[in-house]
Chains A and B, each alone.
Chain A
């Protein structure tokens, strides 16, 4: 059980670290959002699963409550993370940030 928790948290930290690294490597706000959104969501799913497994394995009311709360936090995260990143991308486009090095921009043609 301990091993399973280590694996889950390890995957989560690796994915989250990758997300942070993508901020350094990519050129503009849209490509950075790609890394930041996907990797942090995937990483947080696994760290939260680690907490849930820990909570149920440890047992007792306090830890079971912790596990249930972590599960609900996970659901909230899965809904809000992509929504927030969509809002940032849309706001960035509306305030005039053009995608850097874009080969095609259909949104530009609409206006």
Chain B
């Protein structure tokens, strides 16, 4: 019940942001408010298990992403290290397009992340940063299989492949 109401509230807030400046009840029109409330209830019911999972022993709290500190950390990560890496990735790809100098291969590393959310965050970060593309993740052990466009060392560590990203993903999502 808590999961359902929380998901609905967030969905409603999202709808309000999307329909900003639509009327004169506050910033919204009456029609939008009613439609938003109905849709938020439906969306909250359908996706109640997605936002907040079951709490199992030994795993982090499913509510942890509602902690504002984590969201702040995520924003800092996004505009800081992540964006710099994304810009570098573009220069890197440009260089490889022009020179055609590639040495591709699929390497493996142990991420040490336990939660699905952390792994998703890391996999998406890897895909958008220099020279790497996540291909597969082992669900049990958390091993990442990464396509690396310029393999310098087949036994490379997580540090060499994706820098500080696993540490960031752990801080944000676990």
Contact = CB atoms under 8 A, between A and B. Distances in A.
Contacts of A82: 123-125, 127-128
B73 interface: no
Interface of A (DSSP majority class): helix
A85 B127 contact: yes
B94 A64 contact: no
A34 B100 CA distance: 13
Chain A interface category by residue count = 35 or more
**Interface of B (DSSP majority class):** mixed
Interface in B121-142: 123-125, 127-129, 131, 133-136, 138
Interface in A8-44: 15, 18, 21-22, 25-28, 30-31, 33-35, 37-39, 41-42
Interface of B: 17-22, 86-87, 89-90, 93-94, 96-97, 100, 102-108, 120, 123-125, 127-129, 131, 133-136, 138, 145, 147, 149, 151, 154
Contacts of A101: 102, 104
Nearest to A15: B90
